[in-house]
Amino acid sequence: MLNKFIFNSSITRAIANCAYNFNKAQLASSPEINDVDSGIQFKKLKLNDRDLSETILTIKSKKRKQRDQKIIIEGNVLIKEALKAHLKPDKFIFSDIRKLNDFYKDIAKIVGNNVVKSIENLKVPQTDLTFYSALTTCPGLIAIFDKPQLIPKKSNALPITVISDGCKEPNNIGAIIRVCNSLPVSELLLPKGNVDIWDTKSIRGSSGSVFHLPTQTQLSWEEMDQKIGSDDLVLIADNNLSRYKSENVLDYDKIPDELITNKGQFCVIVGGESQGISKEALSFAKTRDWKVVNIPIESTANSLNISNALAIILFELRRKFNLLL
């Protein structure tokens, strides 16, 4: 039975791969239509077009997303932000040619006509567009982009690296990215166990900040150990103070000046929504100079949202940097 299951699974995977490659070829061979009024060339797809459905589902698949290096971005605002960040567009999926034409006129001023002409346009029924959308209300335009390979560090970045330890919610990781980009920090590191930062909801939660912030994902803690200097000060954001000795705990607004002036680089670790700081993260911190940063809150409040807590700590650090450095 086991051999039969493995055999059947192998056949299923092979058929799925063949179907995907065939569907991509079919999609590419669809006839081009030239809209007379706008001059936009596009391919008109039928309701429930199987080829496009396979393409969308393939990109949304976690394993395929890592291999094919494609991401999905929804809505004019985020697509425009991706273009400003020089992400490479592949396909635009739309239902209203007039709205697409208006959008193209807008973005041509930003990226130029050559980029606009390089995009493959696919016209689908509105019901399909709504089905493909990951959002409650379909924004009217879905784009497929190449995933950015390297986002450069900003020249004004603070000497802070943030580690997200086990964030499971796309909206929360998006908010963390947005906070990190707003300072900005040098980099955001995400060990294994975090939600995908290129998930559609993560991108939306970041308000496009993910296009501008240097990030590294799917790291092991051994790799993390190589990326954070042995002399860096590690600050753990955690309100579960019972885990720590009192001498290792500081209130966020009482970080001693000498810690700021004596340390060249800083690392801030923020835990997940429900589990908090993992054993692996704590073990990592204890190999360096480390402190737990506490944010006093009203006793009737259970805790702060992780992105809010991170924002309080990071902006307090920036205030001290501006005063002391």
pLDDT, one tens digit per residue, over 21-34 is 544 555 555 688 99
- pLDDT, mean over the chain: 89
Considering 5-9, 86-90, 239-243, the range whose residues carry the highest mean pLDDT is: 86-90
d(C-alpha 260, C-alpha 179), whole Å: 21
What's the pLDDT at 274? 78
Do 31-146 and 158-324 fold alike per CATH? no
Tokens of 49: 């077009």
Strand order from edge to edge, sheet including 289-294 = 215-219, 185-191, 158-165, 266-271, 233-237, 289-294, 249-251
Alpha helices, H only, 198-325: 200-205, 221-227, 257-262, 279-285, 306-324
Amino acid making up residue 310? L
The fold of the 158-324 domain, in CATH, is Alpha/beta knot (3.40.1280)
Here the tokens at position 267 are 């690392």
pLDDT at residue 67 is higher than 50: yes
In this structure, the number of other CB atoms found within 10 A of the CB of residue 77 comes to: 13
- CATH number of the structural domain 31-146: 3.30.1330.30
Q: How confident is the model at residue 64 (pLDDT cuts 50, 70, 90)?
A: low
Mean pLDDT confidence for 257-286: 92
Q: How many angstroms separate the CA atoms of 309 and 304, rounded? A: 6
For the chain, domain boundaries: 31-146, 158-324
Give residue-wise pLDDT tens across range 128-184.
Answer: 999 999 888 899 999 999 999 889 999 999 999 999 999 999 999 999 999 999 999
Inform me whether the pLDDT recorded for 81 exceeds 80: yes
Categorize the per-residue pLDDT at 219 as very low, low, confident or very high, splitting at 50, 70 and 90: very high
Average pLDDT over every residue of 180-201: 96
Distance CA 199, CA 2 (A): 34
What's residue 26's pLDDT?
A: 52
DSSP state letters, 100-137: HHHHHHHHHHHH-HHHHHHSEEEE--HHHHHHH--SSS
Quickly state the pLDDT bin for 6 (edges 50, 70, 90). Answer: very low
Percent of the chain whose pLDDT exceeds 70: 89
pLDDT at 4 over 80: no
Share of the chain above pLDDT 90, in %: 71
